Amino acid sequence: MKLVKETLFEKVWNAHVVASPDGDVPSVLYIDLHLVHEVTSPQAFAGLRARGLRVRRPDRTVATMDHSTPTRPGGLALADDQARAQLAQLAANCKAHGITLHSLGEAGHGIVHVIGPEQGLTQPGMTIVCGDSHTSTHGAFGALAFGIGTSEVEHVLATQCLLQRKPKTLRVTFDGLPPAGVTAKDLILAMIAKLGVGGATGHVIEYAGAAIRALDMEGRMTVCNMSIEAGARAGMIAPDDVTFNYLAGRPHAPRGDAFDRALRAWRALPTDDGAVFDREVRIDATKLEPMITWGTNPGQGVGISQPVPDPARVTDLEARAQLESALRYTRVEPGQPLVGVKVDVVFVGSCTNSRIGDLRAAAKIVDGRRVAPGVRMLVVPGSAAVKLQAEAEGLDRIFRDAGAEWREPGCSMCIAMNGDQLSPGQLAVSTSNRNFEGRQGKGGRTLLASPFTAAAAAVTGRVTDPRALLSEEARRSA
């Protein structure tokens, strides 16, 4: 019998410690996969050049263009000069160092956190980093995946390692199954609302419980993606048959005997019975409803039938001031549910919710309906492969026929640095991950929600409980 009981995180961490120097020096942690995009890498490559260094393991480095790329058909020609220069710099850096780059318009192109899993690059037990806080997405496979700054991007390019302190562990258990129409996005928004935006700082979260086990890989990615919105360093889910079935046959997944060998190692990864976490949180999934945010951070969310908090009822002066400041910006009414609030824009996309299942969910609501007059709906697939699949299923037709815009893959309106953005004052229901002030365009206001809830807002023109628009059959299969 094994004496030391380890968590999933500890197993992955321990397997990647290259050196634990004495004294006060952090561990040297080996990185299996380094994902790179145009925004957070140019200064790192410049640093390498200044030192006369090469990328040490181009074979463990994969790049894509996503943040500053236009999503209107027409490609690079539509990017502004600065974005074009940044994208050209990435292409030059990848060429100089022999790094695989998925350029705009190519079959493998897409949002970095969509294409990694899609191509089978993301695998259980790996360490994965990227200069992007939503790298936590890859934890859905039982990988330890986290966002890093550009200095650390340079460190990984040069050494394939990082100096890291071991984070603490937090297990969030979702007990029971959520009601029909309540999705992965609602689970994670509910958790962030409970913990707060700084609630998991210093921790790696492991998501557990019946509601997590019942999710497909795309739902698990949505959950892990937003770990950072609670301040967590990473989010992880123990791999199981759902994970292994997803991986089998993907281009970069092991094949044949190698797959069987990998499988034996992957099956040993889940947290041992009796392993101890630094913290535990439990959430009753059976009591959840579709979630929506009302404020200016992802922790400011409520169940769709619940009232927005009222500052008048908050006694702590600082908490009240923060509440008032958020409500001043979003201009939603305190003490009332958001249902019925008029919507200008609906965005379905981002590394949180742009996979095929997300588009199918939105299409279920939009099918046979029209985008409400005066509402702009953008549907932006997460990758070229997702786009192709959606078109093969006729989802693009459903969206176009309803009056929505069907776009090329990219980060689009999640980050508003590529031409897709809100105008000042506009209110969006968005499937993305951040409702910070101006995140989707200066002066724009964002309500975060699931693809169901976003699509329901698009066709009614108002914040709407999507369950009213879902057929019994659709709700059950969601």
Partner 1 sequence: MSAPRFTTLTSKMVKLLDADVDTDQIIPARYLKVTDKAGLGDALFADWRGREGFPIPVRAGEQILLCGHNFGCGSSREHAPWALVAGGFRALVSTSFADIFKGNALKNGLVPVVVPSEIHAALRSIDQEITIDLDACELRAPGLAPVRFAVDGFARRCLLDGVDELGFLMQHLPAIEAYESR
Residues that bind partner 1 (CB under 8 A): 18-19, 21, 23-26, 28, 30, 39-40, 42-43, 46-47, 50-51, 67-68, 80, 82-83, 85-86, 89, 131-133, 147-152, 154-155, 158-163, 165, 167, 197-198, 201-202, 228-229, 231, 233, 297, 299, 318, 322, 325, 415-417, 434, 436-439, 442
For partner 1, give the closer residue by CB, 139 or 181: 139
For partner 1, give the closer residue by CB, 316 or 472: 316
What CA–CA distance (Å, rounded) separates 463 from 363?
17
Tell me how far, at minimum, the Cβ of 233 lies from partner 1, in Å: 6
For partner 1, give the closer residue by CB, 412 or 464: 412
Record the tokens describing residue 85, joined without a space.
Answer: 């220069």
Tell me how far, at minimum, the Cβ of 427 lies from partner 1, in Å: 18
- Residue 290: closest CA among 275, 306, 277, 273: 306
For partner 1, give the closer residue by CB, 7 or 127: 127
What CA–CA distance (Å, rounded) separates 450 from 456?
10
Tell me how far, at minimum, the Cβ of 161 lies from partner 1, in Å: 6
Record the tokens describing residue 174, joined without a space.
Answer: 């979702």
Pairing state between β 27-30 and 161-164: antiparallel
Record the tokens describing residue 65, joined without a space.
Answer: 């263009």
Torsion 251-254-257-263 (CA) sign: negative
Tell me how far, at minimum, the Cβ of 83 lies from partner 1, in Å: 5
**For helices 150-159 and 42-51, what crossing angle results, to 10°?**
50
What CA–CA distance (Å, rounded) separates 325 from 314?
13
Tell me how far, at minimum, the Cβ of 24 lies from partner 1, in Å: 3
For partner 1, give the closer residue by CB, 39 or 275: 39
CA separation (Å) from 296 to 156, 328, 333, 412, 438?
33, 10, 14, 19, 9
Tell me how far, at minimum, the Cβ of 478 lies from partner 1, in Å: 29
For partner 1, give the closer residue by CB, 167 or 290: 167
